Amino acid sequence: MQRKTQLKRRLVWGVLLTAALLTLVTLAWQEGVQGAPPAPLTPDQMRLVAEKERAKKEAGIVDLPSSEGMYVQPGEPVRQFVVTIQVTKAQLLADLEAAQASDNEYFNQLKRNGGYKAVQRMQGQYEKQRRSIEALPDGPISLKIPSVEVGQHSICFSKFTYSGSQRKDPINVVFYRVGKAWDVDYDMRNWTRLRWGRTSCGSSQRVYICDAQHTGGWDGWRNMQYQLERDAGWYCGSPRYHIRLFGSFVRDSDTPSFGWWSVGDAHHDNKWHRCTDGWENAESTVLNSFQTADGSPLWFVGVRWQSDLGNAGHYDCADNDGRARFIELLY
């Protein structure tokens, strides 16, 4: 009789333990796969979101309702490959002229502030580029663009920014989910802990984005949409943190999705912007803008992770480690 009761007790404990273990595993699984659910917004935060939606509407940014599906989780695989596009000499020269024309305003600002030597140097680079294009043989030219694809059949962009067809900065920041260039620009000017300001003191560049694999998308160059700076002096040409933003053409229609996304080239410019003297410090400053001082995400920020884009190297006057920050934006 006593043995029977003991057996029964053991059985009950066994069932209870198994249930508890299964619950724990399920919870841990959800945490890992779904990410922690965002905390409900406070009335103040809800007011901020409403304010942003109004500003977005006024700016004419149309957000088609998207089915709230699964968003990507940290650690998506990165595939490196080379996009080859066919161009003509005439097109390369036209692109070069467009790049040069878009830099006119920047060059004038620099010159007004005493940075004429820096302007001379940059104009010299344009001339060098022109001569090398003119030296190319006539006929179709294959332009090779080192690129990455992050996720399965997912987002795809060049590893570098370009001025015309000249490679410039390594990409080191990716924003996603509510990550249109417009959203990032708005958040960094209004919501982040470290605030950034719009500037026209910087050359315009472009990024190649392959979006043809997404509904309504196409492959092509995306010209810089916004540029922001931080810790700049009063004059154009002062040392500062600087980032250019380039958004996807359409929303990532895959599942799990990156939603709307954009990439940036966070860097620190030295005096007269002669040479970029920091990539990693600027990337950290961008990340820290979206976090509290102890590294927790701000209320509108989701997960943050790093991935190797394969663009490590020494560019201008500083090292880039090739690992980019991915920052999920929620509102």
Q: Kind of pairing, strands 155-158 and 141-150?
A: antiparallel
Residue written as tokens 């695989």? 77
Return the number of the residue (272 or 279) whose C-beta is nearest Ca ion. 279
For residue 51, what are its two tokens? 């304010």
Give the whole-angstrom CA distance, residue 96 versus residue 103: 11
Return the number of the residue (159 or 251) whose C-beta is nearest Ca ion. 159
Stretch that binds Ca ion, among 108-116, 165-173, 284-292, 295-303 (CB under 5 A): 165-173
Return the number of the residue (115 or 278) whose C-beta is nearest Ca ion. 278
CB of residue 171 vs Ca ion: minimum separation in angstroms? 10
Using DSSP's 3-state secondary structure scheme, residue 30 falls into: helix
Task: By CB under 5 A, tell whether 105 contacts Ca ion.
Answer: no
Query: CB-side exposure of 326: number of CA atoms within 13 Å?
Result: 23
Phi then psi dihedrals of residue 68, to 5 deg: -70, 95
CB 168 within 8 A of CB 160: yes
CB of residue 227 vs Ca ion: minimum separation in angstroms? 19
Listed in sequence order, the residues at least 6 apart from 232 whose beta carbon sits closer than 8 Å to its beta carbon are 197, 199, 201, 238, 239, 240, 241
DSSP 64-109: ------PBP-TT--EEEEEEEEEE-HHHHHHHHHHHHHHTHHHHHH
CB of residue 282 vs Ca ion: minimum separation in angstroms? 9
Stretch that binds Ca ion, among 7-15, 35-43, 70-78, 168-176 (CB under 5 A): 168-176
x/- letters, 306..325, toward Ca ion (CB under 5 A) = ---------------x-x--
For residue 183, what are its two tokens? 């959203």
- CA nearest to 265, candidates 129, 173, 151, 192: 173
Residue written as tokens 């190297």? 313
CB of residue 309 vs Ca ion: minimum separation in angstroms? 9
Return the number of the residue (92 or 282) whose C-beta is nearest Ca ion. 282
Stretch that binds Ca ion, among 84-92, 118-126, 171-179, 220-228 (CB under 5 A): 171-179
Interface with Ca ion in residues 256-285 (CB under 5 A): 283
Return the number of the residue (171 or 301) whose C-beta is nearest Ca ion. 171
CB of residue 329 vs Ca ion: minimum separation in angstroms? 19
Stretch that binds Ca ion, among 166-174, 185-193, 250-258, 290-298 (CB under 5 A): 166-174
CB of residue 285 vs Ca ion: minimum separation in angstroms? 12
Return the number of the residue (105 or 321) whose C-beta is nearest Ca ion. 321
Interface with Ca ion in residues 33-72 (CB under 5 A): none
CB 309 within 8 A of CB 323: yes
CB of residue 298 vs Ca ion: minimum separation in angstroms? 21
Interface with Ca ion in residues 181-220 (CB under 5 A): none
CB of residue 328 vs Ca ion: minimum separation in angstroms? 17
H or E stretch at 125: helix 116-134
Residues that bind Ca ion (CB under 5 A): 172, 283, 321, 323
